[in-house]
Chain A
């Protein structure tokens, strides 16, 4: 877990945590490294096939659209990774995104002169507040996050609808500087995507190199053991939900900047897509393994599939079915990998004895 072995992936499986044998860790890491690599290969193959069939797929404009399209999903998937790694799940992210997006629009409507960094901070703050509600309820109720966040999925969305009461906010209501944030490019790369990259790098680094980041994996691997070894499980899980809420808030503000037109339905149904991206990216739904980089790649892959199907003139209705098949393949692959790792480790310890 030292920072020096930069070539190795940052996931360390449950086995590696409990068996701090250097050789075994290397093996486990190599096996799990396959995930990011296989995602990259799948992505490259997809882009290659698509661009051979239609060379405009790799044109500047098309790549820009693609990066712009996946930025929000990447941010949400990375936040969700934090949560899933601890063996929880946050289904309310779509509703938080919608609520924050509408709040941002309303802010500009009420105070047109607000500078956009203030709006950004307020949006992230509101998202974090939603995260506090989630984390607090989970701590109080001691029930799985699935149930609580299913409840807040409805509650936040309901608040959004109640507040909007059928109104719509248009791009004309928002300042130019803010909207430019959503479409501007820096050296040909959309600013939105750069923001997403920063988030990926920050969360990836945190999960890999910080003590509390490693503790999240320990919590997800075996909560009881984590508690016994002195990790403040409750506090960590609470913090994770707040962080995920803040990231969903960030995505909400960026959503407002990107699309300009806002109603209460923004981001409806996004939660399952986000979980799907994380799962495809190798974040085990059981917790305890996965990386922010994998989840981000998963999000990019899902978005790319959407646009390449369109370019390949395949009926766009197939998109969702392909995504579903991909999720099943991804979790099947994980299972296979885990079984093989377990078998190999068992073989080793037999030799050792």
Chain B
């Protein structure tokens, strides 16, 4: 990314971590992942004990349902940021997918199954346009996706204007909010978990995943190591688009409304969640577990504070502060460690 090289990449706090078996455990869990998971557990416990109505099944259902779009979008975003790129057009692709679904349902007479499929395909095509500009023409993804952010959002208003389509069949709209029988866990969450598992396996346990990290650390070195950087990045953008299409379908059915401004501004929340999850905006670092925990942490905090009667809009203070702390803290810790290390080394020759 364009903004990476102004400051040297922060020193790794866990670089000299234990050898052998410990190192592999650390490789999977990473120290930041652990921090964020602990923070999540603490947040859930605190909220459950102190906030009224937090630890109820109904609240859990809504909390999880609200998190589905964010969680889904964060998955491909994680992979993209790991390669050192970014996709800011995700929310606009969700919006365009949603309005297209509305327009097709209104005027085409196709079955809803086919429409959903078409919307996911359209998402993939929109993502391919992003990918073409970034990898084919060699343009910075930040600028390209700011452009397509405006373009796709504009097109989504072109498709439906300021109208809303709301007459989707009740069976479908009820289906997406349905719980697993006997629990208060939405069925949709199973889909999210399966996808998260898929993305996690690809990122952490396949050569493709290793290649993504290699690209994020050094494009050129990855190329010389035989990774087809451009092609891989292109397909990442396509996958991101397809997931956006899927989220567009979910969003439309969940709120039973297809509108041009659906999911406006969500892109920044997605990026926030990914960075909070410990993925470095420099690329090359971070894991999916941290991101999932980051998404959950954001959701739990927002939900708990809302139940505690904090104005929903003022909650963005929490989002922003969390993001800043998540990037400032690891660096501060690394700094202190480095200083202590240096002092110890200086002290050594003096000692007998």
Contact = CB atoms under 8 A, between A and B. Distances in A.
B148 interface: yes
Interface in A139-172: 140-148, 150-159, 161-162, 165-166
Interface in B1-25: 1-8, 10
A321 B311 contact: no
A157 B318 CA distance: 11
Contacts of A140: 328, 331-332
B114 to A, nearest CB: 26
Interface stretch (A37-45, A83-91, A119-127, A341-349): A83-91
A312 interface: no
Interface string B138-161: 111011101111111111011001
A285 B134 CA distance: 13
Given A315-B161, A318-B154, A328-B144, 14 more contacts: A86-B6, A137-B328, A140-B332, A150-B272, A150-B323, A154-B272, A156-B320, A157-B313, A224-B5, A317-B260, A320-B150, A321-B150, A324-B150, A324-B151
B79 interface: no
Contacts of A335: 137-139
Interface residues of B, number: 57
A225 to B, nearest CB: 11
A161 B328 contact: no
A315 B133 CA distance: 27
Given A155-B316, A276-B146, A223 B137 contact: no
A228 B195 CA distance: 47
B157 A317 contact: yes
Contact of A150 (B137, B271, B314): B271
B250 interface: no
Interface string B29-56: 0000000000000000000000000000
B144 A147 contact: no
Contact of A320 (B2, B146, B153): B153
Given A315-B158, A324-B149, A162 B311 contact: yes
Residue among B6, B148, B153 with max Cβ neighbours from chain A (10 Å):
B6
Given A285-B143, A321-B158, A335-B139, A142 B10 contact: yes
Contact of B143 (A154, A158, A279): A279
Contacts of B225: none
Given A144-B4, A152-B324, A264-B313, A276 B319 contact: no
A323 B154 contact: yes
Interface residues of A, number: 59
A315 B147 CA distance: 20
A207 to B, nearest CB: 18
B315 interface: yes
Contacts of A325: 147, 151
Interface in B118-176: 133, 137-140, 142-144, 146-155, 157-158, 161-162
Contacts of A32: none
Nearest to A224: B5
Interface string B318-352: 11110110011001100000000000000000000
A210 to B, nearest CB: 21
B5 to A, nearest CB: 6
Residue among A153, A155, A159 with max Cβ neighbours from chain B (10 Å):
A155
Interface string A71-97: 000000000000000111101000000
A253 interface: no
B260 A331 contact: no
A237 interface: yes
Given A162-B311, A264-B313, A147 B6 contact: no
A143 B149 contact: no
B323 A331 contact: no
A269 interface: yes
Given A327-B146, A331-B147, A335-B137, A159 B328 contact: no
A151 B323 contact: yes
A323 B3 CA distance: 24
Interface of B: 1-8, 10, 88, 133, 137-140, 142-144, 146-155, 157-158, 161-162, 260, 264-265, 268, 271-272, 275, 281-282, 311, 313-321, 323-324, 327-328, 331-332
Nearest to B3: A144
Interface of A: 86-89, 91, 137, 140-148, 150-159, 161-162, 165-166, 219, 223-224, 233, 237, 264, 268-269, 272, 275-276, 279, 285-287, 315, 317-325, 327-328, 331-332, 335
B2 A317 contact: no
Residue among B147, B264, B265 with max Cβ neighbours from chain A (10 Å):
B147
Nearest to B322: A151
A150 to B, nearest CB: 6
A86 B6 CA distance: 9
A159 B10 CA distance: 29
Given A87-B3, A88-B3, A150-B268, A155 B324 contact: yes
B147 A154 contact: no
Nearest to A139: B7
Contacts of B152: 324
A347 B163 CA distance: 56
Contacts of B321: 151, 155
Contact of A154 (B162, B316, B327): B316
A321 B143 contact: no
B319 A158 contact: yes
Pick the 6 closest A-B CB pairs, nearest first. A324-B151, A321-B154, A154-B320, A158-B317, A320-B154, A155-B320
